[in-house]
Amino acid sequence: MGLASIHAENLRCLDDATLALAPSLTLIQGPNGSGKTSLLEAIFLAGRGRSFRTRMTERLIRRGADYLRVFAETVDPAHRIGFEYPREGSYHARLDGRDVESLAELPAAFFVEVIDPDIHRLIEGGPAERRRWLDWGVFHVEHRFLPHWLRFSRALRQRNAALKAGQDSRIWDAEFAEHGTAVAKLRADWLESLRPVWQQAVLRLSDLDVQLGYSQGWSQERSLEEALEEGRDRDRERGSTLSGPHRADVLLRLAGASARDVLSRGQQKLVSAALVLALLSRLRSLQGRPPTLLLDDPAAELDPHRLGGLVDLVKELECQLVITSLAPDLQRFGQPERVFHVEHGRLHEL
C-alpha cells in the first residue's frame, strides 16, 4: 500500500497544504523552519494517529487555530483516512467513511515508518520507545496480537486502579496473566524472526556487532501468574503492577555492555536506523507490500560513507519514499518523481 495524497489544515506552521505523492520518490525541500517536517508529521498522523515528534497531539495545532485536520488517500488497496483533533476535547478519526474506535485500526490501512534526526531515542530513550518499535512489527504480522494487547492493557489499568484504591486486585489476575503471557510470546517470536535481518542491517550500516535481546518484563523462571503472586505485597505497597509485558524491553548490547552507555550519538542514530530498516525489510518480505518510509533530512550528521550505506539499504526496500532536505536534490537516492518546495508553511510543486 502507498499514499496517494495528504491534506493538512492547521498543523504547526501549515495553514492549508495538499501534497500528491509519487509512488516511489517524493522530495520536499526548503529552508529550516519552513514546514518540511510538519508535512511528514501529517503523513505519520494518517498512519498512526500521532506525531513522531511529540506524544501531545494538541501541540501540533497551529497557533490561533481551534483544531487540526488531516485527510489522506491510499492506493493498492484504496483507503480514505480522516483525522481531526480539536484544541478542546478528544480526537475524531474515520476510515473509509466509518468512525474509528481505536487508533490501532489506522496502521492496517496505511503502513508508514520514519527515520528523523531524533531516531537515536530508540537507543537513548526508555523501554517504552523500544516496545512501540517492537509492537509495531508484531501488529503487522500477527492478527492475534491486537486483541491480546487490548485485553491485557484493560486488565492492567483495572488492576492498577484497584491497587491504588487499596482494593483486592486478584480479580484481574487471570485476565492479566492470560493475555499478558500471549503478548510476551508473540513479541518474542517476532523478535527472533527479525534477528537475522537485524544482524545484516546493523553491520552494513554501522560496522558494529550489536546484539539484540528481549526482556519479557518478569523472570523467565516463573509464569506470569507466579510472578504476580510473588509480587503481590510489593505491588500493593507501590500501588502499581511491577511485573508483566508493560515492563518489557528490547535489549541492545555491544561487547556485553548496554548500547546506550557505550555508543556515541552518531552511532546510536545508525543503530536505531538499522532497527527501523530491519523491521521494514522483514515486513516487506512477509507481506510483499511496499511500505512508506519518511526520511527527515537524511544527510544531516552522516558522512558520505554512512549515508551511502543508508541509501543502499533504503533502495533495497523498494518502498515509497518521502524525503526532506535543505538541498534541492539528493541524487544518491535517485531522481525524484515529484519535487516540492515549502517555505513559511506554503507549498508548491517544482
Mean predicted lDDT score pLDDT of the chain: 91
**C-alpha distances in Å from residue 221, one per residue of 182, 218, 233, 234:** 16, 9, 20, 19
Place of cell 503487522: 140
Q: What is the pLDDT of residues 92-146, one digit of tens each?
A: 899 999 998 878 778 878 889 999 999 999 999 999 999 999 998 998 889 899 9
Q: What is the pLDDT of residues 193-231, one digit of tens each?
A: 999 999 999 999 999 999 999 999 999 999 999 999 999
- CATH classification at residue 171: 3.40.50.300
Kindly indicate the confidence band of residue 304, based on its pLDDT and cuts at 50, 70 and 90.
Answer: confident
Q: What is the pLDDT of residues 29-84, one digit of tens each?
A: 988 888 999 999 999 999 888 899 888 888 899 999 999 999 999 998 899 999 99
Instruction: Over range 237-252, report the average pLDDT.
Output: 97
Confidence at residue 178, expressed as pLDDT on a 0 to 100 scale = 98
Torsion 156-162-164-167 (CA) sign: negative
State the pTM of this model. Answer: 0.91
Could you list the residue range(s) of the whole structural domain that residue 215 is in? 2-349
CB-based contact 191:232 (threshold 8 Å): no
Q: What is the pLDDT of residues 74-104, one digit of tens each?
A: 998 899 999 999 998 888 899 999 998 878 7
Confidence at residue 328, expressed as pLDDT on a 0 to 100 scale = 61
Beta strands in 21-166 (DSSP E): 25-29, 67-75, 79-86, 92-95, 98-99, 112-115
**Order of strands, sheet of 257-258, starting from the edge strand that comes earlier in the sequence:** 211-215, 249-254, 257-258
**C-alpha distances in Å from residue 226, one per residue of 66, 220, 223, 229:** 50, 11, 5, 5
Amino acid at 8: A
- Reduced to 3 states (helix: H, G, I; strand: E, B; else coil), residue 54 is coil
Confidence at residue 329, expressed as pLDDT on a 0 to 100 scale = 59
Domain count, the chain: 1
